[in-house]
Amino acid sequence: MTKRKSIVGAFLLASSIALAVPLVAQAGPGMGGGMGSCGVSMHRGAGMDGSGRGGMMRMLKGLDLTDAQRDQIFELKHAQMPKMREQMKVVRDLRNQLREAATADSYDAARVKALTEQQSAAMATMMQSRIAGERAVYELLTPEQRDMLKEKRAARADMREGMGRGMMRGGPVPDA
């Protein structure tokens, strides 16, 4: 009977873990869901990495894209990925160098300034590339789909405005 209890216990433990994993994976920013130092999700592909799962790509749901549009968007996003990945490596390397500079035996302000400027340039290049990719996708849309996209963005902006910045981050709600 004890062997049976241990098997049932192991099964219950495995089941509990299996049920918890999706919840942890979907944890949002208010739940500590993997936000980078710049407030951008580094795990969930929020557009910075060109994965196409965040930002505009999420807004394309419900626009009744044709198969041809889907194929073209797929090609655009996959063409953009290597460039974004390369820039992310540069940013990651610069962040590591900045961390090392913070704990070095002697502080070199000129080096820190140069590293932060390089990091800013790399981040700007990533943003420019992302926006160019979004524009290319936007140009594939029909006028009706563009209108629907604008409506969805406006509704999302209204929702964010109503929530307040503090609620989104789990902090206090600002006074109205």
Cα–Cα distances (Å) from 109 to 91, 99, 114, 120, 174, in that order, read 19, 13, 9, 16, 37
Question: How confident is the model over 33-66, as pLDDT tens digits?
Answer: 444 444 444 443 444 334 444 566 677 887 888 8
Residues whose CB falls within 8 Å of the CB of residue 169, separated by 6 or more in sequence, listed in order: 29, 30
**Domain 51-162 falls under CATH 1.20.120.1490:** yes
Share of the chain above pLDDT 70, in %: 61
Cα–Cα distances (Å) from 82 to 6, 23, 85, 165, in that order, read 49, 30, 5, 33
- Section 109-134 average pLDDT: 92
Cα–Cα distances (Å) from 153 to 56, 60, 91, 130, 150, in that order, read 9, 10, 29, 17, 5
Alpha-carbon distance 106 to 59, whole Å? 48
Alpha-carbon distance 41 to 29, whole Å? 8
Q: How confident is the model at residue 154 (pLDDT cuts 50, 70, 90)?
A: confident
